[in-house]
Amino acid sequence: MTLRTLTLHDFRNYTEQTFVFEKDIVVFVGGNGKGKTNILEAISILSVGKSWRETLSSDLIRNGEASAQIQGVTDSDDHFKIQIQPKSRTFARNDKKMTRKKFFGQIPTLLFAPEHLHLFAGAKRERQKFFDRVLSQLSPVYRENLSRADKATRQKNALLRSFGPEFELGEECLSQVRTQDLAPWNEILAEVIPDIWRERTAFLSSLAEPLQQQLSDISGSSDSITVRLHTPEIYEPTPEGVRDFFRHNFARECAARKSFLGPHRDDFVFTLRNRPLLSTASRGEERSVLLALLAAQKNCLSEQLGVAPILLLDDCFSELDADRQAALEKLCSGSQVFFTTTHGEHFAQFDGDVQVFEI
């Protein structure tokens, strides 16, 4: 799948702008703050309904305007449109309105942003978002379960906070009331947590071989690389196992006023040469693992969806040496790619035709 045109209306710093893409390698070149990343952000929203960096919908709307609009036309002549208002969004394909659930992932994309360069050392929430973005495009069920888990966890935590700090285990009647209050949200979590765990672990299993192969190709070594899912709690990842956990940890959750189990607690743990990645990898090796991870994810998306994802690569060349720049170019093979950069010379050695937009 390729994107042939992109039109922005009152989006970020753009009043009205249409880009026509004639090549598969597209580069946006310009100084910092000119709006290069805004273009990749718009494509990301066309893909998954939101941006990786937005906080509020109003952030996406040009100052003083009531709404913003993003339109895209693919090589199959499908027209996609998103209308963004401060508190709502509407989605359409070929002028037919759709829910975000059905709109999501019809234009598959893979994102490489500057913050991913700190993926391994950063907070686990960043690793969750990194993997969830791909998994949500592969599985509508996963995406729905993740949404249900997030809502149930927020509602449960709000209830736990409302109980106050005066909880005493001996107040049997009060405990029963509180257990009944939490029951609907615990039941939802019991339904979705095992499925989310299963899909995450299955995806990591499918990544294992291509990740190892890609890292060997990039680094020229046979260093072992693994990634596994870790949760700080011990429980059986089945509905009854989750229910048992909540029953046995009721007092603990009341005292802490938060839920101890859910996909928000999971982490993706990397090892290199059979040791934690951060304790053994150089900065260059971290870059190689990240590129290998992106290449492995691209393979999984291509195989399972039947189309190569569009790659969104935001200002990443400046952080890579010549060998890893070459690996990044190889990663781009077979996909439409959108780059942003402040220096046009980063693409001077590319083998394929490059379309350059000066921003």
Question: For residue range 11-23, what is the model confidence (pLDDT) as tens digits?
Answer: 999 999 999 999 9
Q: Is residue 99 in a domain?
A: yes
Q: Is residue 178 in a domain?
A: no
pLDDT given for residue 123 in this prediction:
92
Cα 293 from chain centroid? Answer: 13
Q: What are phi and psi of 71, to 5 degrees?
A: -130, 145
Q: Sign of torsion, CA 97 100 106 107?
A: positive
- Facing residues of 311 across strands? 110, 337
Q: Is residue 256 in a domain?
A: no
Q: Is residue 231 in a domain?
A: no
Q: Is residue 2 in a domain?
A: yes
pLDDT given for residue 177 in this prediction:
56
Cα separation, 146 vs 285, in Å, equals 32
Say whether pLDDT at 155 is over 70: yes
Cα separation, 123 vs 347, in Å, equals 32
pLDDT in tens, 164-193: 655 554 444 456 557 788 999 999 999 999
pLDDT given for residue 127 in this prediction:
96
What mean pLDDT do residues 243-256 have? 91
pLDDT given for residue 164 in this prediction:
62
- What's the CATH number where 346 sits? 3.40.50.300
Helix axes 172-219, 322-331, angle to 10 degrees: 110
What's the predicted TM-score (pTM) here?
0.89
- Bridge-based pairing state of the strands 3-11 and 68-74: antiparallel
What mean pLDDT do residues 241-251 have? 94
Q: Is residue 208 in a domain?
A: no
Structural domain boundaries, residue 349: 1-108+307-359
Among 69-78, 136-145, 310-319, 348-357, the least confident range: 348-357
Among 76-80, 94-98, 117-121, 271-275, the least confident range: 117-121
Q: How many domains does the chain have?
A: 1
Q: Is residue 177 in a domain?
A: no
pLDDT in tens, 301-350: 999 999 999 999 998 777 777 788 788 878 888 899 999 988 776 666 66
Say whether pLDDT at 114 is over 90: no
